[in-house]
Amino acid sequence: MLFISTFFLACAAVAADTKIDVASQNPAAAPVIRASSNTVIDYPGGTPPANVPGSFDAQDSTFNRPVSCASLSGVGTAVSFDTITLTNSGANAASVNVRLGQAGDPAASCGSVIDPFMVLYNGTFNPATPLANCLAVNDDTNGAADRCPSLTAVSVPPGQTRVIVLTTFDNADFFGYEVTFAGTTPVQLQSFGIE
């Protein structure tokens, strides 16, 4: 009897801390376009961009977010979103790490306080076709304990654009957030001779 009650207690603890998303077989739910923010960043590499604070609220646009780049979420069918448009104006490829954390304390664990989600797009993002141009999705940093999503080594070729969609796991989930960046300096090879 002790084994059975311990088993159920362990399952309940796991279930309380884990949300399960399911792929939808339905077409994308129609987006609702309102007043989501788009932060435009010119990033030629080197010093990372400044933090971007924001919030998800009832006035934001909504869309049916992906659960992967191949399928839509059956849970997040009308999630609020904001975007960051990151363009590389430099001569070399730039790479940046992006983390979506808590407002005011972006390095803190998201834990059960907030449940953000990120989607990375190549060039453009259209909420009516949320799988088009999708490069990556991240929820809970691939299961990490802090539950804040991050994208590592987002490569932006010279003259190209990446759109980072900041969103939530659940519909009608409203909270403040802060996006942080850690950049890498592009390496430019020089030719030289030895005499």
Residue 187's pLDDT is what?
43
Residue 160 lies in a domain: yes
Q: Confidence band (pLDDT; 50, 70, 90) for 111? A: confident
Cα–Cα distance list, 2 to 5, 7, 9, 16, 147 (Å):
5, 9, 11, 21, 32
Q: What was the pLDDT predicted at 5? A: 42
- Do the Cβ atoms of 180 and 132 come closer than 8 Å? no
In a domain, 192, yes or no: no
Predicted pLDDT of residue 189: 41
What does the radius of gyration of the chain's CA atoms come to, in whole angstroms? 19
Structure tokens at 107: 């390095």
Q: Which residue, among 119, 126, 17, 33, has the nearest Cα to 76 in the 3D structure? A: 119
Integer Cα distance of 98 and 84 in angstroms: 11
Looking at per-residue confidence, does 119 or 101 come out higher?
119
Is 14 part of a structural domain of the chain?
no
- pLDDT of 176-191, one tens digit each? 999 998 876 454 444 4
Q: 124 is in which domain, residue-wise?
A: 21-184
- pLDDT for 7-54, tens place per residue? 333 343 333 346 677 677 776 777 777 778 898 988 888 888 899 999
Domain presence at residue 190: no
DSSP character at residue 17: H
Give the total number of structural domains in the chain. Answer: 1
Is 29 within a domain? yes
Tell me the C-alpha distance between 9 and 4, whole Å: 9
pLDDT by residue (tens digit) across 128-176?
999 999 999 998 755 556 678 888 889 999 999 999 999 999 898 899 9
Question: Is pLDDT of 4 > 60?
Answer: no
- Between residues 14 and 194, the one the model is more confident about: 194
Residues 112-122: what's their mean pLDDT? 89
CA separation for the pair 74, 89 (Å, rounded): 37
Task: Determine the average pLDDT of the residues in 112-117.
Answer: 83
The answer to whether residue 79 scores a pLDDT higher than 80 is yes
Mean pLDDT of the chain: 81
Q: Which residues on neighbouring strands pair with residue 55, listed in sequence order?
A: 176
Q: Domain of 51: which CATH number?
A: 2.60.120.380
31 DSSP assignment: P
What residues have CB less than 8 Å from 16, skipping those under 6 apart?
none
